[in-house]
Amino acid sequence: MDHNLRLSTRHSAGRRAWIRAAALLAVALAFGAGAPPPAAAQTSSPSMSVPLAPDAPQQYVVKQGDTLWDIAGVFLRDPWYWPEIWHVNPEIRNPHLIYPGDVLNLVYVDGKPRITVASAGATRLSPEVRSVPLRDAIRAIPYDLLMDFVGRPSLIEKDEVKRVPYVVGMRDRHIVGSTANEVYASGLGEPAVGNRYSIVNVGEELRDPDDGDLLGYIGHFAGTGAVIQTSGAVVPGAKSIFKMRRQKELTHLRVTDTAREILQGDKLLPAEVDLGADFVPSAPANEAVIGQVIAVVDGVHVAGKYQVLALNRGKRHGLAPGNALGVFYRGEEVRDRFDRGMSWMSFTANYDRVRLPDERSATVLLFRVYDRMSYGLVVESSQVIRRGDFVAHPRYGHREAGRENLFVR
């Protein structure tokens, strides 16, 4: 081909490419101004600001039995980012109270994904007062599972043990109590007849593995007692059994069911506990938080989804109810026996030690947070969880956040 012809062809192709690019830019400016970037581009952002789920729908109708954690997982790859995408509607006082039948819409505000809520049915023309009872609002995590835990306490915080009521004695000189027996308790005050209390035996100590400090106790559910009446008992004074007598309020209860023998000194805790205002799944403010699983409820050695864990971190470590934490299995140390090949000279007693990577096994959502310990519900798991596994900020281990090994000696 002639040299001049090749140059002319090359220049013509270049001009055509520039013309095509200019045309596309003009179309984008004319029709695409203010349009949000593609979802894929947002989810792959190194900052991980709003990681949408790959199949996030444009609209979702809230169903009975949904939890806020489940709904957040519909829209987000990581549900603890929920507060970052929730768009506060002016007509809703508490935007985190949503109900079955509500329609959630995925929209874009200033190019960022946001979730808005509207009541079911026709388009809302003006603000309206919602008359649905608060108890029907969607909970963050399964409410019935939490009530099983708080109604039959299995983990008791250290300060809680000191102040709770206890069994003083039993009727008819019984040494142990069981179903249909009657017991007397001190410290309940004047509860209403029929009020029910869980009777709990205080078991093994829970100590912080970092410094050995006592954090709480394992609680063994012994039974349930219903109040019959409250009366006074004569208690001898310190100087003489004939002087300085005082009245001590005792509560008479009938044991309605038992799981083990009831003993003098067992603790009484309300069988019906109000968990208070619901919380919203979120990531901890303290990104450097590191702790351990110090106990698994029910005395089992391993845990899975929807079981309760006790952790040795709490308010003083920047945690709050609703915080999500990742649970990780510590990588084991192994000896690399094959790094030097397979010859007879490679066999030695001094093999190189290799530490396997830490692997994420679950996510736990905190629902009760004390000063130095917390209780959390396992909301998702891929492997079994064991006592001694460590917990960390849910972003620990992400490529974007780095994967610093926090346990290298």
How confident is the model over 232-268, as pLDDT tens digits?
A: 555 555 555 555 555 678 999 999 999 899 999 999 9
Distance CA 375, CA 369 (A): 6
Q: Which residue range(s) make up the domain with 325?
A: 290-392
CA dihedral angle for residue 296, residue 299, residue 302, residue 304, rounded to 10 degrees: -60
Q: Are residues 217 and 304 in the same domain?
A: no
Q: Are residues 254 and 204 in the same domain?
A: yes
List, for residues 167-190, the tens digit of each pLDDT value.
Answer: 999 998 898 999 989 999 999 988
Q: Are residues 104 and 201 in the same domain?
A: no
State pTM to two decimals.
0.70
Domain count, the chain: 3
DSSP state of 80: G
pLDDT category at 226 given cuts 50, 70, 90 is: very high
Q: Are residues 153 and 188 in the same domain?
A: yes
19 domain-assigned: no
314 within 8 A of 370, measured Cβ to Cβ: yes
Say whether 391 sits in a helix, a strand or coil: strand
Q: What is the mean pLDDT of residues 130-136?
A: 49
What pLDDT, on a 0 to 100 scale, did the predictor assign at position 30? 39
276 domain-assigned: no
CATH of the domain at 304: 2.40.10.410
341 domain-assigned: yes
375 domain-assigned: yes
Torsion over CA: 390, 392, 398, 402 (sign): negative
Q: Are residues 261 and 156 in the same domain?
A: yes
Of the chain, the percentage scoring pLDDT greater than 90 comes to 31
183 domain-assigned: yes
227 domain-assigned: yes
Q: Are residues 82 and 153 in the same domain?
A: no
- Report the Cα 68 to chain-centroid distance in Å: 12
Average pLDDT, rounded, for the chain? 76
Single residue among 70, 88, 123 that ends a domain in this structure: 123
Q: Are residues 98 and 183 in the same domain?
A: no
Q: Are residues 156 and 250 in the same domain?
A: yes
